[in-house]
Chain A
């Protein structure tokens, strides 16, 4: 009899779910301890999509690090860009112009809609409602096409810039976006017709993954995952950034804190976002789209035209009287056209010179002169021409060009110090923490990713429920592993 009991001993079954599992929304690995169908313990393992974005951010300038944020939460790349840009702007102490702020709010809310659509699609697909998946992707495609119209990319947009946005929107875009906002509420109604009262949907969501308000706060949940438990915390309301203090919207909250409440919250949020987009279109003010902060933004290209335009054939010439022979231009020249000994005036070999202006940007003594139309002239002629005063437009263009080169080679210099700025991305509170040592690159860039914190709450939600509810719980906390692992 003992022998028999030993053979048929009841043991917990250890199941490995993921990292390649269609319902884990990425490469999330869960180790489930099962007692029959009931989950006894869940251990989430993250890090399969770790690309070291925080460390990479330390080796790139503030301007260059922007595309990294696209690749964190790739489902709502625009919101991530905005989060980064808002944080860096605060670090630099600059402010985007009004029009740029409204455009950013507009595209940020579009990105929220597209994120919630993808969430609803996959969440419903996981639970078993395939039709909603197809319907949601139809509208998501529409939004992605609108993104393509403004910035040329559908997913990894890189549209906002430090101090504004990349380019102005077009009239055609505004009108098609308005058309979208008119159509969209009826589309939300369609999704709701399909699942809102559906008995299978209700059975799979009501009372699943219940978390009380107090516990949700203690776990550090943010975004709709927290609001489903009845806590009206929204960064857009509490510390408004961009144009959120000038648009009206409600923050929907749930009561029970279960999967169904979180679903309802996100559905209402989509409607609110749609409203915000409409308000932004209506209130869109005229004005510049880039902040007037020459040290922190790229320089206008047309201001450099007098020098950089292909038809302008100029030559560079080193003024012997001014050159101190420091050797900076010598090192900067990519073709070694500049020769000369230390502490003696240098010379440019006009036959080799590319006219690339690298030397111009590094010369501290302003010994480098531009000779308009001097390409191919003899040395003596250049010497003679270099003494003549330059036209004003070329002097201005030279200033812009020098600053443009410095900006790209060194990156915008941030003041020393550290700061944390949070923004509300569709998943929750996305925070950027910068430590700056005064150079062009952050000393430390820390990202508070909502997905990472939400992945941690999975054991609390799943234990005691059935295996099938694990899927519902992964869906309801809305995680993207790209952001979680960074």
Chain B
């Protein structure tokens, strides 16, 4: 054992260094969030509970019932039933959904969205079986005003712009810090 190593061993220097670090953290700001009282901000485009989009003018569901969402769904949790000229039932089994967002991408009509709501746990399965009425009311609740349009603009992909070079694209603009 060299002298240096001996000094290190008897002075507990590395442990003291670690202790100093944890002590300094003791005086810094806490990073934990007291969940039910405070919530972290949700990024736009969060893939949460579903909603059926409404026509901006008529206020009716945009869905025409083509069934592409039900076809693409990897967990097959969407059921579409149609009757003469209208969609009679549109149901999503929330408990089976994996929130991949493929239904949004598959829909050519822009009729289904994933909203930012993530707090909808419940005691009964019936409440988590979303019917058309519930899904439409979700649209009013979580996509009020212009929010729905903004959502489609950013997250209803791909658009033609994704296949070509747009004029303005997010680029690195030098070190700023």
Asked if A and B are interacting partners, one says: yes
> Quick check: B72 and A335 within 8 Å, CB to CB?
no
Docked Cα-Cα span, A197 to B17, in Å, equals 10
Instruction: State in angstroms the CA–CA spacing of A19 and B62 once bound together.
Output: 48
Residues of A within 8 A of B43 (CB): 145, 148-149, 152
| B2 CB, nearest partner CB in chain A, Å | 15
B78 within 8 A of A: no
A199 to B154, CA, bound (A): 52
B106: A residues at CB distance < 8 A: 298, 408
Assembled-state Cα–Cα distance A237/B101 (Å) = 34
Q: How far is the CB of B116 from chain A (nearest CB, A)?
A: 9
Beyond A193-B18, A198-B18, A308-B110, whether A334 also contacts B172 by CB under 8 A is no
Residues of chain A contacted by B22 (CB below 8 angstroms): 131, 194
Chain A residues within an 8 Å CB radius of B165: 286-288
Once the chains are docked, how many angstroms separate the CA of A336 from the CA of B128? Answer: 31
Inter-subunit contact A356/B159 (CB<8 Å): no
| Contact of A290 (CB < 8 Å), options: B74, B98, B102, B163 | B163
Closest residue of A by beta carbon distance from B18: A194
Complex CA gap A193/B19 in Å reads: 9
Which of B31, B86, B170 is close to A354, meaning CB atoms less than 8 Å apart? Answer: B86
CA distance A21 to B153 in the complex (A): 46
For residue A85, give the distance in angstroms from its CB to the closest CB of chain B: 14
Residues of B within 8 A of A149 (CB): 43
Question: Which chain A positions have C-beta within 8 A of B99?
Answer: 153, 156
* Complex Cα–Cα for A345 and B126 (A): 45
B160 close to A300 (CB less than 8 A): yes
Chain B residues within an 8 Å CB radius of A282: 172
Known: A408-B71, A409-B71. A289 touches B162 (CB 8 A): yes
CA distance A117 to B100 in the complex (A): 25
- Residue-wise interface mask of A (165-192) relative to B, using a CB-CB cutoff of 8 A (1 in contact, 0 not): 0111111011100110010000000100
Q: Is A18 an interface residue (CB 8 A)?
A: no
B86 touches A301 (CB 8 A): no
A355 adjacent to chain B (CB < 8 Å): yes
**B106 closest partner in A (C-beta):** A408
Residue of B15, B158, B176 near A300 (CB, 8 A) is B158
- Report whether A335 and B74 are in contact in the complex, using a CB–CB cutoff of 8 Å: no
Q: Contact check: which of B55, B62, B108, B177 meets A179 at CB < 8 Å?
A: B177
Our pick among B47, B102, B175 for the contact of A152 (Cβ within 8 Å) is: B47
CA A12 to CA B158, docked complex, whole Å: 62
- Distance A35 CA – B77 CA, assembled complex (angstroms): 52
Q: How far is the CA of A354 from the CA of B64 in the complex (A)?
A: 6
Q: Does A453 contact B (CB under 8 A)?
A: no
Residues on the B chain within 8 Å of A337, using CB:
85
User: Given A300-B162, A301-B110, A408-B68, is A335 in contact with B85 using a C-beta cutoff of 8 Å?
Assistant: yes
- Give Cα distance in the complex from A408 to B68, angstroms: 7
Q: How far is the CB of B17 from chain A (nearest CB, A)?
A: 5
Residue A63 is within 8 A (CB to CB) of chain B in the complex: yes
Greatest chain B CB density within 10 A among A168, A196, A288, A310 is at A310
A68, B160: Cα distance in complex, Å: 28
A405 within 8 A of partner (CB): yes
User: Is B155 interfacial (CB-CB < 8 Å)?
Assistant: yes
Say how far A415's CB is from chain B's closest CB, in angstroms.
22
Question: Which B residues touch A218, using CB under 8 A?
Answer: none
* B85-144 interface with A by 8 A CB criterion: 85-87, 98-102, 105-106, 108-110, 114
Binary CB contact string for chain B from 143 to 164 against chain A (1 if under 8 A, 0 otherwise): 0000000000011111110111
Cα(A99)–Cα(B163), bound, Å: 11
Q: Can you name 18 A-B residue pairings with CB atoms under 8 Å?
A: A60-B74, A64-B72, A148-B43, A151-B45, A156-B98, A166-B157, A168-B170, A190-B21, A193-B18, A284-B171, A287-B169, A288-B165, A298-B158, A301-B156, A337-B85, A358-B66, A404-B108, A408-B72
CB-CB nearest 9 A-B residue pairs: A356-B66, A197-B14, A152-B45, A67-B100, A300-B160, A171-B170, A152-B47, A290-B162, A148-B43
Q: A156-B99, A193-B17, A300-B159 are in contact. List 14 more A-B contacts (CB 8 A).
A: A64-B72, A168-B169, A195-B18, A199-B14, A286-B165, A286-B169, A288-B165, A290-B163, A298-B106, A300-B162, A310-B55, A354-B85, A354-B86, A357-B108
